[in-house]
Amino acid sequence: MLSKTLLFFIIVNFVSDYSYGQRDKKFFRKDYKYLEAVEGFYKIHTLHKTWSEAKRVCALEGASLFYPENDDEAHAVLSFWNATQPYRWVYVGISDLIVKGVFETIDEYVYNELFGRCYKFHLNPLNWTDAYAVCNAEQSYLAVINTQEEADYLVALTESKPKDRVPGNFMRGAVHLGFHNRANEGWQAVRGTALDDTGYTCWGTNQPDGGELEQCGSMFYNGLLNDISCDTRSFFICEHEVDTLSSSLDDRFGETVV
């Protein structure tokens, strides 16, 4: 499928001071359209490309291959498309190039339909605080386990990653997750609830055991929870809430859209 040629979208995401100035002026390039509803710039390319070529062209233009992050963006882009284009199909920034059947966004987030959320395993080891900041910058949060099924999924996600290929001095065998006891008020999830109220409190043997020296949360590769020093570098998992896209996507594309 990815070898075929289709139309494709691109979107510009604004995170730097430089790009914020462009958004403030509502101008990025003269061939991009600013959509007020989502405060982003979009362009529909009508020269047919392969998926990989489309992704590369977007990057060369300082943008990225589009995929909707929420209902509002999906509606805004579909309205723009319906008003300007007669075409029915389009490439988006989602593929299963790495593992067949596992669809990731170009930002490496994997959607899990059972939980209705996206997850990303970061192979760049960081301490807990920096990992928290990275997830926040990606409009996500350090993953919080709510059920045994979710724990099993994160274990499988962890197993699927090439962790042994990552060099350096960092803690192996555990990944940072979104809970902590930094305020010495008991273990809390980063979403603001007590860990006991999240639905999953399966600690490893004799854990937590670090006291004030280990006030951040992690998960052993087997899914059991572990306390860890907030300064310890390790892999980490980000979790992203997804607004359910409405049936308007099916109205536009038909039942064959995946």
CATH number of the domain residue 233 falls in: 3.10.100.10
The DSSP secondary structure of 133-145, one letter per residue, reads HHHHHTT-EE---
| 66, 57 contact by CB (below 8 A) | no
d(CA 45, CA 9): 6
Of 63, 97, 131, the residue that ends a domain is 97
Amino acid 196: pLDDT: 97
* 251 — pLDDT class (breaks 50, 70, 90): very low
The parent domain of residue 67 ranges over 6-97
* 108 — pLDDT class (breaks 50, 70, 90): low
* 122 vs 112, more confident: 122
Terminal-to-terminal C-alpha distance of the chain: 12
Same domain flag for 124 and 91: no
DSSP-derived 3-state class of residue 8: strand
- The yes-or-no verdict on residue 155 having pLDDT over 80 is yes
| 64, 93 contact by CB (below 8 A) | yes
DSSP 243: P
Same domain flag for 129 and 74: no
Amino acid 62: pLDDT: 75
Amino acid 7: pLDDT: 52
Amino acid 26: pLDDT: 62
Rounded mean pLDDT, 68-83: 79
In a domain, residue 102? The reply is no
Same domain flag for 122 and 197: yes
* 229 — pLDDT class (breaks 50, 70, 90): very high
Same domain flag for 235 and 147: yes
| 105, 94 contact by CB (below 8 A) | yes
Same domain flag for 26 and 123: no
* 192 vs 235, more confident: 235
d(CA 25, CA 28): 8
Same domain flag for 135 and 168: yes
Amino acid 39: pLDDT: 78
What is the total count of domains within the chain? 2
Same domain flag for 121 and 93: no
Amino acid 28: pLDDT: 62
d(CA 239, CA 140): 6
Same domain flag for 188 and 89: no
Same domain flag for 181 and 232: yes
In a domain, residue 255? The reply is no
Same domain flag for 63 and 12: yes
> Mean pLDDT: which of 47-61, 172-186, 238-252 is highest?
172-186
Same domain flag for 233 and 129: yes
Q: Which of 221, 192, 219, 225 is nearest to 207 (CA)?
A: 225
* 45 — pLDDT class (breaks 50, 70, 90): confident
- ∠ CA 232-238-239, nearest 5°, is 145
Amino acid 94: pLDDT: 73
In a domain, residue 109? The reply is no
* Residue written as token pair 């977007």: 58
In a domain, residue 105? The reply is no
Rounded mean pLDDT, 209-217: 96
Amino acid 255: pLDDT: 38
